[in-house]
Amino acid sequence: MYKVLLVEDEMVIRQGLRELIRQSAPSFEVTGEMASGREALSYLKSEVPDLMITDIRMREMDGLTLLEKVKQMYPELLVIILSGYGEFEYAQRAIRHGVLQYLLKPIERHELVSVLERAKMMLDKRYGVSTPMGAPDSPQMEDSGDARKIIRDVKEYVKLHIDGDLRLQTVASQVSLNATYLSQLFKGETGSNYSDYVSEARMERAKWLLSHTQLKIYDVARLSGHQSPKHFMLVFKQQCGMTAGEYRNQFSPSE
């Protein structure tokens, strides 16, 4: 599922949004709730959500100031701004900062669902996800078309849960297959071992984080599914021929 950060200083509104997302947008999960822009910035120093929903008017730091700072950290982060009827000028400025959408309070369910569907399409395209995760009806799929669909679903599950539990047994249960059978099927369809595919996907995510964020190396390791930062740095050097820091420096603007 895609990760959502909620930034709203009114607890009742924040709770309502969380419940609305839970009920109406199964592809999204609220993984962070912050009551202020400062809290959000602190959170974003070690976490990378796929979508941020923030109020435009908050104590300490307004949504526009937060937006400006966040876009410096994560230019590609999708952002939805919440505003009141008397704040259209703020909303116009938010649009110039590249927000996905602004929604007027009180939030209408159908409007939120509509913008979340658009966000899902954009994120699916970004991560190469083409179809929703689905479990086949039968535990044994002999037809080649069915086999290809299973492998496609497995690959997409891996992309969407790159920092989670991707053990073969766990993923096999997601597609209602025996782990041994899935391992054989994956090898037969792709020519690669499942474990090798996961390792490669996690390394690609690490490279993206290194080139697109200023997260600390141990956060990059964690968010790309590597349990040990030390092991991550060792594997990165072996596979890429340079350290993670040297890789990141390639994308730093020259002085």
**What does the pLDDT look like over 197-209, one tens digit per residue?**
999 999 999 999 9
Tokens 């669902």: give the residue: 113
Which pLDDT value is given to residue 144?
A: 55
Give the residue extent of every domain in the chain. Answer: 2-127, 144-194, 197-250
| pLDDT, mean over the chain | 87
User: What tokens appear for 7 in the block?
Assistant: 């930034």
What is the signed CA dihedral for 153, 155, 157, 160, rounded to 10 degrees? -130
Q: Using CA atoms, how far apart are residues 113 and 103, in angstroms rounded to an integer? A: 11
- For the domain covering 2-127, report its CATH number: 3.40.50.2300
33, β-bridge pairs: 6
- Residue 34: CB partners within 8 Å, gap ≥ 6? 5, 6, 7, 8, 40, 43
- What tens-digit pLDDT sequence spans the chain (255 residues)? 899 999 998 899 899 999 999 999 999 999 999 999 999 999 999 999 999 999 888 877 777 888 889 988 998 999 998 887 566 666 667 666 678 888 888 888 899 999 999 999 999 988 888 644 444 433 444 455 688 889 999 998 999 899 999 999 999 999 899 999 999 999 999 999 999 999 999 999 999 999 999 999 999 999 999 989 999 999 999 999 999 999 999 987 654
Q: Using CA atoms, how far apart are residues 232 and 56, in angstroms rounded to an integer? A: 39
Q: Please, are residues 107 and 82 in contact by the beta-carbon 8 Å criterion?
A: yes
Which pLDDT value is given to residue 21?
A: 94
Which pLDDT value is given to residue 255?
A: 47
Which pLDDT value is given to residue 123?
A: 92
Q: Using CA atoms, how far apart are residues 138 and 25, in angstroms rounded to an integer? A: 27
Q: Is the pTM of this model over 0.85?
A: no
Is 130 in a helix, a strand, or coil?
Answer: coil
- Residue 33: CB partners within 8 Å, gap ≥ 6? 5, 6, 8, 14, 18
Name the fold adopted by 144-194. Answer: Arc Repressor Mutant, subunit A (1.10.10)
Angle at which helices 229-240 and 194-212 pack, to 10 degrees? Answer: 90
The number of angstroms, rounded, from the C-alpha of 42 to the middle of its chain's C-alpha atoms is 18
User: What tokens appear for 247 in the block?
Assistant: 């890789």
Show the CA angle centred on residue 76, arms to residues 70 and 79, nearest 5°: 60
Domain 197-250: which CATH class? Answer: mainly alpha
Q: Please, are residues 189 and 172 in contact by the beta-carbon 8 Å criterion?
A: no
Is there a common fold for 144-194 and 197-250? yes
Q: Using CA atoms, how far apart are residues 247 and 217, in angstroms rounded to an integer? A: 11
Q: How far is CA 216 from CA 93, 192, 244, 248, in A?
A: 31, 31, 10, 11
